[in-house]
Amino acid sequence: MAPIIEARHITKTFGRGKEQVVAVDAVSFAIQEGEILCLVGESGCGKSTTGRMIAGLLPPTAGEILFEGRPISQMAPEEYRRYRHAVQIIHQDPYASLNPVQTVQQILVTPLLRHRKVDGPSGARKRALELLEIVDLTPPEDFLNKYPHQLSGGQRQRVSVARALTVEPRFIVADEAVSMVDVSIRVSLLNMLTRLKEEFHVTFLFITHDLALAKYFAWHGRITVMYLGRIVEDGPTPRVIQDPRHPYTQALLSAVPEADPELTRRKRRMELRSADIPSLLALPSGCTFHPRCPYFVEGECDVNVPPLEPISEGGRVACPVRKSEPIQLLA
Amino acid sequence: MTLSTASSMANSVTWVQEGETESRPPLSLRDVHIVYSSRRGPVQAVRGVSFDLHGGESLALIGESGSGKTTLGLGIVRLLVKTARITQGAIRYRRDGREMDVLALEGPELRRFRWKECAMVFQSALNAFNPVIRIWDQFWDTARAHGWSDRRAVRQKALELLRFVQLDADRVIDAYPHELSGGMRQRVLIALSLLLDPQILILDEPTTALDILTQRTIMDLLRRLKEELHFTMIFISHDLAIAAELADRVATMYAGTVVELGPSEAIFYQPRHPYTLGLIRAVPTVTGGYEELYSIPGSPPDLIDLPSGCKFHPRCPFATERCRKEEPPLEKVGEHHLAACWHWTEVAAELGRTPLHRRTPNA
């Protein structure tokens, strides 16, 4: 069966001429129905731009996005509408993405009626209550007449999820969806999203800069690591986290502080050749990580763009120099 | 508030002062209360915080948004907004045998205390700079405000500090803040805070909103401040990882008060307050293998309308009738380890039954 979402060499450039920025550079991946794919990377790596293109909020400059095997650029209006309903996005900041002068009821009922998902206002109210129940805002009656500012950050994000669910999506792009929420309630939000996957077979593209969150949410899925607009490594989550092969993934994993004193002490640090991230306006030649990479090979890494090649342990790595070399993350 | 009430209040605080045999701690807080006035009523942001900060130690104040940790930091350097008031308690500062009552400081004395004795590095590095003046002028203005007049000496020192924080000093010193990346700005801010040789450094969320590799450079820099220069530091953070990596001691704050305080290892491996335990069980590690995580039910309390008794009781799995009625004091639960929970022995027993998920990384 065709993957629910496939990206084929999608590229996004902003600006033109000397000011042109390549935010996403020929990125390809496929997501099967029911899967979780985590897109991780630092700011400016193109993960959010990729997410926005997948959700149809931004057209790719080049390349093609396929929904159930059909290129969205070739879809007829009716088919395109179905795709836009099926793929929803949840943004990072629920305070910015919810209309502050609408009550939770209005926020949920408007799309339900607009897209004729229910029969009339009483059906819409009933459905809104069900949706609130699904996102664990209980008892739901207590929330219908609240405004976003009367809710906590976690509750607001649950309302965003409920709103996304009004159109019965099959695919959700969650862009840093729990990053702004306090630690103690993050896990319950993630567990709620996991339940959507299990009960409603929603497929997830989960975008985050937080490797620990990616690991937890996508343990049974896959992780894709991006750096300056390109995928540098992907694969099943346990493989990428425990046996990273791309020097950038290794650098991230060795650098990330751990919420455990003993573990953090046992970690082996990787020294980079440069601490500074290059500007998107002046990307390095060849492998864009080469000016920082400790394994830099002159005449190779600064000349050739490394291809993303499969490795036998699972997934793909864009580093011909190091892809077959496991490292020890812990001493 | 007068000096005498402050000190009598300090004497009425019951918990033991640690390390009485050693030299006296550079900073002591006793029963500090900070209240914001708001239209809905007084916001009890900090309620009765007491601790000693020992020379050369780093203490992490951890807690979620609204726990009072930033307000407490601002209170220590007396930079609270006008709507906030320190209503009770005492803050004492000591250096080279001198002692001062921080809450009684005024005018020039207060200014001297703020940067020369105790410097604070704020959370948002961009907002902490004047955007229209160069880095050098930020240094010069600070130095001048504190009575320096030798431009050359100040520039020399600024360059040295910028080099210490591993920046290209000659370039950075003439740059405008917007020309620098987030990590570079954070490092400049740390360099600037060191300009007047303070004894204590308070860092509010020093690594929040920075990328992982940038975070690492800041963490390594803070580690050098601690290990090479023996700074006395307070880290304010919601991120347990910074506490795990840099703190000698950790104080967990909830609803404006310290609910647990102890050596870092004790807090991470033998937490005795249900809230600390909850936080640790809610946070995943990266290289620790697969972990079962648990969230804390409910949400943080309304600081205007606080729950009765223990402020954590509505979210606590150990809560009983007593917790609803009486707020537990901090009491000794181990070596240098304090927790404010009526049921801390049960927390210990529960930890025995269900050990922490993260003790066996990469088994």
And the tokens for B59?
Answer: 């203490």
Indicate whether A81 and A175 sit together in one domain: yes
Mean pLDDT value of segment A282-287: 93
What pLDDT score does B1 carry? 32
Same domain, A93 and A214: yes
Q: Do B217 and A275 touch (CB under 8 A)?
A: yes
B263 domain residue, yes or no: no
State which of B212, B247, B282 marks the end of a domain. B247
Q: Which of A221, A242, A263 is the last residue of a domain?
A: A242
Is B65:B300 a contact under the CB 8 Å cutoff?
Answer: yes
Residue B299 or A314, more confident: A314
**Do residues B280 and B239 share a domain?**
no
Residue B28 shares a structural domain with residue B102: yes
DSSP B114: I
Spatial CA neighbour of A258 closest among A212, A208, A209: A212
Spatial neighbors of A165 by CB under 8 A, at least 6 apart, are: A88, A131, A134, A135, A196, A200
Tokens of B259: 């609910």
B11: in domain: no
* A306 falls within a domain: yes
Q: Are B239 and B286 in a shared domain?
A: no
Regarding whether A289 and A230 lie in a shared domain, the answer is no
Cβ neighbours of B362 in A, within 8 Å? 242, 329-330
Longest Cα–Cα distance of chain B, Å, equals 66
State the pLDDT at residue A181: 85
Contact between A184 and B241 using a beta-carbon 8 Å cutoff: no
Spatial neighbors of B124 by CB under 8 A, at least 6 apart, are B209
Question: Among B213, B297, B358, whose Cβ lies nearest the Cβ of A275?
Answer: B213
| DSSP conformation class of A174 | E
Q: Which of B244, B278, B294 sits opposite A258 (nearest CB)?
A: B244
- A126 domain residue, yes or no: no
First to last CA, chain A: 44
Contacts for A32 with CB less than 8 Å, ≥ 6 apart: A1, A3, A4, A203
**Is the same domain home to B235 and B277?**
no
Is B135:B172 a contact under the CB 8 Å cutoff? Answer: yes
Chain A residues with CB under 8 Å of B358 CB are 259-260, 263
B189 & B301 share domain:
no
Cβ neighbors of A39 (< 8 A, separation 6 or more) are A47, A50, A51, A205, A206, A207, A208, A224, A226
pLDDT single digits (tens) A41-65: 998 899 999 999 999 999 999 999 9
Contact A231, A318 (CB under 8 A): yes
Task: Give the burial class of B145: count Cβ atoms within 10 A of its Cβ; 0-12 exposed, 13-18 middle, 19 or more buried.
Answer: exposed
Distance between CA atoms of B301 and A289, rounded to whole angstroms? 46
Tokens 């990346």 correspond to B181
Same domain, B183 and B288: no
Shared domain check, B39 and B87: yes
User: pLDDT at position B126, please?
Assistant: 66
Per-residue b or e along A79-93, where b marks 16 or more CB atoms closer than 10 Å to that residue's CB: ebeebbbbbbbbbbb
- Whether B5 is covered by a domain: the verdict is no
Instruction: Enumerate residue ranges in chain B where pLDDT < 70.
Output: 1-22, 125-126, 357-363
Q: Are B113 and B99 in contact (CB under 8 A)?
A: no
Structure tokens at B34: 């900070």
Q: Which two tokens stand for residue B41?
A: 């009523």
pLDDT at site B4 = 34
Say if CB A323 and CB A253 are below 8 A apart.
no
Kind and range of the H or E run holding A191: helix A183-200
Given B238, B245, B278, which is nearest A257 (Cβ)?
A: B245
Residue B16 lies in a domain: no
Asked if A95 and A175 sit in the same domain, the reply is: yes
The reply to whether A235 falls in a domain is yes
B139 and B66 in a common domain: yes
Contact A211 B286 (CB under 8 A): yes
- Residue A143 placed within a domain: no
Count, residues in chain B = 363
Question: Among all residues of chain B, which has the CA nearest to that of A276?
Answer: B214
A184 and B279: CB-CB below 8 Å? Answer: yes
Q: Determine the structural domain holding residue B284 and report its residue range.
A: 271-355
Rounded CA-CA distance B75/B222 in Å is: 23
Look-up of token digits 């993350």: A329
How much of chain B is helix, strand and coil, in % rounded to 5?
35, 20, 40
Domain count, chain A: 2
Instruction: Measure in Å the smallest separation between the Cα of B185 and chain A Cα atoms.
Output: 13
Q: What residue numbers bound the domain in which A54 lies? A: 5-103+168-242
Tens digits of per-residue pLDDT, A220-274? 999 999 999 999 999 999 999 999 999 999 999 999 999 999 999 999 989 999 8
Specify if B17 maps to a domain.
Answer: no
User: What pLDDT sits at residue B289?
Assistant: 81
Quote the tokens at residue A296: 């830099």
Least CB–CB distance from A186: residue in B217, B282, B290: B282
A40, A149, A181, A182, best to mutate vs chain B, most B CBs in 10 Å: A182
Q: What's the confidence (pLDDT) of residue B19?
A: 44
> Is the residue at A140 inside a domain?
no
Q: What is the edge-to-edge ordering of all strands in the sheet holding B200-204?
A: B118-121, B200-204, B232-237, B58-62, B249-254, B257-263, B337-339, B331-334
Question: Is-contact A206 A171, C-beta < 8 A?
Answer: no
Which one, of A45, A50, A46, A49, lies nearest residue A248 by Cα? A45
Domain boundary among B193, B215, B247: B247
Do residues A67 and A200 both lie within one domain? yes
Structure-token pair, residue A277:
């991230």
Instruction: Please report the pLDDT score of residue B6 as a whole number.
Output: 37
Which three-class secondary structure state does DSSP give residue B141? Answer: helix
Q: Is residue A48 a part of any domain in this protein?
A: yes
Please tell me whether residues A50 and A89 are part of one structural domain. yes
For residue A257, the chain B residue with the least C-alpha distance is B241
Interchain proximity A209–B212, CB inside 8 Å:
yes
Q: Are residues A78 and A26 in the same domain?
A: yes
Question: Is B293 close to A259, i.e. CB distance below 8 A?
Answer: no
Residue contact B245–A261, C-beta within 8 A: yes
- Residue B240: C-alpha distances to residues A176, A268, A307, B273 (Å): 19, 20, 38, 15
CA separation, residue A159 to residues A132, A146, A330, B18 (Å): 7, 11, 40, 48
If one counts the domains in chain B, the total is: 2
Which structure tokens are listed for B62? 């951890």
Percent of chain A, pLDDT > 90?
Answer: 82
Task: Judge if A307 and A226 occupy the same domain.
Answer: no
Q: Look at residue B1 and tell me if it is in a domain.
A: no
Q: Are residues B50 and B174 in the same domain?
A: yes
Q: Are residues A285 and A296 in the same domain?
A: yes
Q: Is B34 exposed, middle or buried (0-12, 13-18, 19+ CB in 10 A)?
A: buried
Q: Which tokens hold the place of B30? A: 């006793």
Evaluate whether residue A158 is within a structural domain: no
Amino acid at A142: D
| Domain termination site, one of A224, A242, A260 | A242
| CATH code at position B224 | 3.40.50.300
Preceding peptide of A320 cis, ω within 30°: no
Q: Considering the domain boundaries, does residue B254 fall inside one?
A: no
Domain at A230, CATH number? 3.40.50.300
Cβ neighbours around B37 below 10 Å, total: 12
Residue A133 lies in a domain: no
CA dist list (Å): A25 to A48, A228, A235, B96, B322: 13, 8, 19, 59, 61
Do residues A52 and A58 make contact, with C-beta atoms less than 8 angstroms apart?
yes
Does one domain contain both B310 and B214? no
A207/A283 same-domain check: no
Identify which of A259, A269, A275 has the shortest CB distance to residue B285.
A259
Output the pLDDT for position B363: 37
Residues B343 and B204 in one domain: no
Residues B176 and B282 in one domain: no
The answer to whether residue B139 is domain-embedded is yes
Q: Check whether residue A206 and residue A309 sit in a common domain.
A: no
Query: Other C-beta atoms within 10 Å of A264: how many?
Result: 20
Residue A30 to chain B, least CA–CA distance (Å): 25
Task: Report chain A's mean pLDDT, rounded to a whole number.
Answer: 93
At residue A278, does pLDDT exceed 50?
Answer: yes
Structure tokens at A57: 């909020």
Q: Is the domain of A185 the same as that of A76?
A: yes
The answer to whether B244 contacts A260, with C-beta atoms less than 8 Å apart, is: yes
- Nearest-CA residue of chain B relative to A258? B241
> What does the block give as tokens for B127?
């907002």
Cβ distance B299 to A154 under 8 Å? Answer: yes
Residue A325: count other Cβ atoms within 10 Å of its Cβ: 11
With beta carbons under 8 A apart, name residues in chain A contacting B268. 259-261
Mean pLDDT calculated for residue range A69-85: 96
